[in-house]
Structure 1
């Protein structure tokens, strides 16, 4: 008798902590342009600071004996949040990047079993918010259908599936991690289909 096919969330939770971290890092990589765009539009934030922290995560994944103080990185990251009084669409998307990266750092600082699901949800929620904003549909059930069937949401689901598959099947050596990172960078296009200039 064949095993029933495991759902996406079960598969995510079945990954080793290191595989989960690689999955989350690839998603953060793809969300990063949203933060950069926010900075370009408002002058707030520091994309280079965020980039440096994410680079350290990749370094830790590649060089397991690397001694990186992720407590300190988490403190630095907290300072990169958009101002609390900015409730703009851009600020919310920029905050998602910071929150996702914070969840990833939590796993490097200790045990955080829900982090991988959290990062997956954050990325999808950003896409949903973007579709809701751009489609301007008032009817809730029509809007939900629009979101489900929207090309950006299909792309997001395909992307997360591809990253999960890559994380599952690999020993995650240097080349596999490089490939995952390239996948995450998505040629500079974010999960919202936006590119920072």
Structure 2
């Protein structure tokens, strides 16, 4: 499958062929790659409640293992991830708030997918992951020297799509989709494998921890 970092049409087609819970599992795995960004932010600024998104994402995995969906609880967990003491304000924390914000947005979208597992809800999660990478590379990766103003828009975005973080994310998404396509039943062993399959020493999709 040939997916491009800046388009989601191919991804949508792949997701349309998956059962509902398989879609949610794909999104949950994506969130696991993003959650360390929130934890890193909390350590950096001594603010936030890391337990809240962790508990929320754990609930998704429990649902995937067969727990009945409690709509009230799912909605409460979504609200918790948006609380003032959990969701960082960009006016207070500036650029440092983007990565943790996107992690929380992704988890909230995945919780919503537990209630309504549409392709669009899953894509919402994936877009948060890719936007995290897209925003991080040009502004916080000091090794990235290409700029839109100097090198032009086409070269700028091509360089982002070719960056190791972007390539790794696209490879992981394709790998997860392949695994989910080949797996009929989401048993405990498979879900544990999927949940822990991003082997990055506890770091996020942009190497934060």
Of 146, 170, 178, 1:137 maps to 146
Give the Cα separation in 2 of the matches to 1:83 and 1:97.
Answer: 14
Q: Which segment is superposed worse, 176-185 or 133-142? A: 133-142
Shift of 1:118: 1.4
Shift of 1:7: 3.2
The question of 1:70 aligning with 2:74 is answered yes
Give the Cα separation in 1 of the matches to 2:11 and 2:112.
Answer: 22
Matches within 5 A, 1:21-170: 21-65=24-68, 67=70, 69-79=73-83, 80-86=86-92, 88-110=94-116, 112-133=118-139, 134=141, 135-138=144-147, 139=151, 140-170=153-183
Shift of 1:83: 2.0
Structure 2, unaligned runs of 5 or more: 1-8
Question: Where does structure 1 differ by over 4 angstroms across 4 or more consecutive aligned residues?
Answer: none
The question of 1:174 aligning with 2:181 is answered no
- C-alpha contact 1:21 1:104 (8 A) present in aligned 2: yes
- C-alpha contact 1:77 1:98 (8 A) present in aligned 2: yes
Question: Given the superposition, is the C-alpha separation of residues 104 and 131 from structure 1 closer, same or farther in structure 2, using an over 3 Å criterion?
Answer: same
Give the TM-score taking structure 2 as reference length.
Answer: 0.83
Please name the residue that 2:20 is paired with.
17
Q: Which segment is superposed worse, 79-88 or 173-182? A: 79-88
- C-alpha contact 2:24 2:117 (8 A) present in aligned 1: no
Count of aligned pairs between the two proteins = 190
Give the TM-score taking structure 1 as reference length.
Answer: 0.87
What is the RMSD of the two structures over their aligned residues, measured on CA atoms? 2.0
Give the Cα separation in 1 of the matches to 2:44 and 2:207.
Answer: 17
Shift of 1:137: 2.3
Please name the residue that 2:10 is paired with.
7
Please name the residue that 1:188 is paired with.
202
